[in-house]
A and B are shown apart, each in its own frame.
Chain A
């Protein structure tokens, strides 16, 4: 028994890359930057739900950890499936699997165990409605988006964006045990319609890389001019959409002002890209501003909640 625990596996003895895996590599496999956004928007969904203050802090903490690891597991499955195209792109070729620091099998096992633990923990410690939506979003991202949409349609990130938009719904369900209210779905819609301009700004920057890896991103398939027009369209749509929580009476004037100001800034960034679709500096500025936009919007939601 002791020998089984101590003995290296055959792959390790033969100098397989697994040897070099550090904890840092496993953290990278969970896509920590995406995880930050997921936890943040999930936390806002939780805070916005009625009865949040009566939720025990430990249960709220466990809910957020489960959400974070669930999102991480989905990211790891994505990295496992996309290891072939990740190796072709400069942006992703240093990820743990294409760089050879973690074997594909190890990554998949790690991801599946993580997914199972996160969903089970959410179900046991929080509630099974939240666990269901967590499982649904993991499957949506890891299977529907990664394995089907991403390589088959130029609307990949539009439809797939729904996966990244679920966290506020999950956060809400953690508190209330249901998702029947319109507010969590409005928050979901905000992230859903924010995703295309955010992602296409990045796609404009690394269009050649996507083309090399044969991923049908919109700028690759339809060109920059077509893409930037749609980016502007989605950005404009976010304005009225972001005012719905205010019109519903869920948040106050403070939120409405912040939403209006950051939306105006986002529109300016989009118009600048439309004016020069081939200028990488403008696409980069739009990408950076899109992240700021979502954080500001959701922070304002949380801070200006009508009690």
Chain B
């Protein structure tokens, strides 16, 4: 299946969501660290 612009857009969207979730996870971890120390 050829890669179209639509695929690239979809991938970009998914990567954006993944990035946001990653940032959120780090944030929660950092806050947990602060609260424990």
Contacts and interface: CB of A to CB of B under 8 A. Distances in A.
**A, B assembled together:** yes
Given A6-B3, A6-B11, 5 more contacts: A5-B11, A19-B9, A117-B24, A121-B24, A125-B28
Given A23-B16, A56-B34, A62 B10 contact: no
A247 interface: no
Interface in B1-37: 1, 3, 6-7, 9-11, 14, 16, 24, 27-28, 30-31, 34
A58 interface: yes
Contacts of B7: 6-8
A58 B26 CA distance: 12
Contact of A125 (B6, B11, B14, B27): B27
Nearest to B33: A58
Interface residues of A, number: 17
B10 A7 contact: yes
Contact of A8 (B6, B24, B28): B6
Contacts of B14: 5
Contacts, number: 37
A117 B25 CA distance: 11
Top 3 closest A-B pairs, CB basis?
A: A125-B31, A8-B6, A6-B7
11 contacts: A3-B1, A5-B10, A6-B11, A7-B10, A8-B6, A8-B10, A19-B9, A58-B30, A124-B31, A125-B27, A125-B31
Given A23-B16, A121-B24, A12 B31 contact: no
Interface string A50-73: 000000101100100000000000
Given A56-B34, A58-B30, A124-B31, A19 B24 contact: no
A6 B31 contact: no
Contacts of A58: 30-31, 34
Contacts of A248: none
B24 A12 contact: no
